[in-house]
Amino acid sequence: MTELKSQSCEACKADAPQVTGDELASLQKEVPEWALVEKGGEQQIERTFKFKNFAEALTFTNKVGDLAEAEGHHPALLTEYGKTTVNWWTHKIGGLHRNDFIMAARTDELFGE
């Protein structure tokens, strides 16, 4: 399997299948720092990134925003003093798609820069 961080999102339609079962478990193993959560009845993946101060958290938030714009796939972002929480899910299907795990891996890569 190609590393998720080197992949791009594919266009997703409202009838695209959500990831479940073995595929979900396999994708979760590739982004182990991300937690599976449910918000508003929709499965999402979430990770909180820690920083020294608000300025560093905001810089990271902006990097994630630039990545999201480039891919046309947008997360929920919460920026606070010393941390940024990122939630990925696919709005069109009301849950998780492979794209979300690709974006999680690419977000992890931004954190490592």
Looking at the structure, give the CATH architecture of the domain made up of residues 33-111.
2-Layer Sandwich (3.30)
Position 96 scores a pLDDT of 96
Between CA 107 and CA 102 the distance in angstroms is 9
Write out the H or E segment, with its range, that includes residue 36: strand 35-39
Position 11 scores a pLDDT of 66
The better pLDDT of the pair 11, 31 is held by 31
Between CA 111 and CA 103 the distance in angstroms is 12
The pLDDT of residue 22 is above 90: yes
Q: Where are the domains of the chain?
A: 33-111
The contacts of residue 73 (CB under 8 Å, 6+ apart) are 9, 88, 90, 99, 100, 103
Q: 47-93, pLDDT tens digit by residue? A: 999 999 999 999 999 999 999 999 999 999 999 999 999 999 999 99
Span 4-18, average pLDDT: 75
Position 1 scores a pLDDT of 39
Pair of tokens at residue 53 = 């101060």
Position 5 scores a pLDDT of 75
The pLDDT of residue 18 is above 80: yes
Distance of alpha carbon 35 from the chain centroid = 10
pTM, full prediction:
0.91
CA atoms within 13 A on the CB side of 66: 7
Position 99 scores a pLDDT of 93
Position 44 scores a pLDDT of 97
Span 102-107, average pLDDT: 96
